[in-house]
Amino acid sequence: GLILIDLRDIILPLIKSHQDPIHSGGGHSPKDRIVCFGLEDPVYILGQSGRLEQVFQNLIDNALSFAPEGTQVIVNVDHSSERVKITVDDFGPGIPENRLEQVFERFYSERPVKESFGMHSGLGLSIAKQIIDAHGGIISAENRRDKGGILLGERFIVRLRGADKE
């Protein structure tokens, strides 16, 4: 069954696990690797925490694997009325435009080796999609661009229904 979950209990520990000094490489302090906005207050949803944890673990690992050294992964939680929108942004190479729909297909990662996008992520993203679908949510991917149309990186978006504390 679905239970009332505070997203902070899922997302913050995942971020914290990447702040462990063991993970740090080079001169950058690892605690800056992932920044998070929007979780200052509780954000409630109905769901299965173990499954949702898998989704966000996957999206964060995915973003970290594409994020160039010294850049940040940005997790943003936007909670308005009944909807909760979680975005995971990175400054990686982006997703080929013709692949934006395909990244959630099951064996998308079996592709020519020269295309490095998502080599590690094909299966994880399809599982993430199944889990979000089962929660009545939507998961999507897009490329982030600046006003001039220059590619900044990629964004994964998870939309879920919010829940009341009552």
Q: Write the DSSP assignment of 82-117 as a string of letters.
A: TEEEEEEE--S----GGGTTGGGSTTTT-S-TT--T
Question: Rounded mean pLDDT of the chain?
Answer: 84
Distance of alpha carbon 81 from alpha carbon 98, whole angstroms: 33
Distance of alpha carbon 61 from alpha carbon 120, whole angstroms: 10
From 60-64, 82-86, 115-119, the region with the lowest mean pLDDT: 115-119
User: Structure pTM?
Assistant: 0.84
Q: How many CA atoms lie within 13 A of 141 on its CB side?
A: 25
Position 41 scores a pLDDT of 93
Position 108 scores a pLDDT of 52
Residue 39 in tokens: 């979780």
Over residues 135-142, mean pLDDT = 95
- Higher per-residue pLDDT: 65 or 39: 39
Site of tokens 């079996």: 110
Helix orientation angle between 49-66 and 122-134, rounded to the nearest 10 degrees? 150
pLDDT > 90 in the chain, percent = 56
Position 113 scores a pLDDT of 46
Residue 15 in tokens: 């971020």
Beta strand pairing status for 44-47 and 3-6?
A: antiparallel
State yes or no: pLDDT of 45 exceeds 80.
yes
Over residues 148-154, mean pLDDT = 94
State yes or no: pLDDT of 115 exceeds 60.
no
Position 70 scores a pLDDT of 86
* Contact (CB, 8 A) for 55 and 132: yes
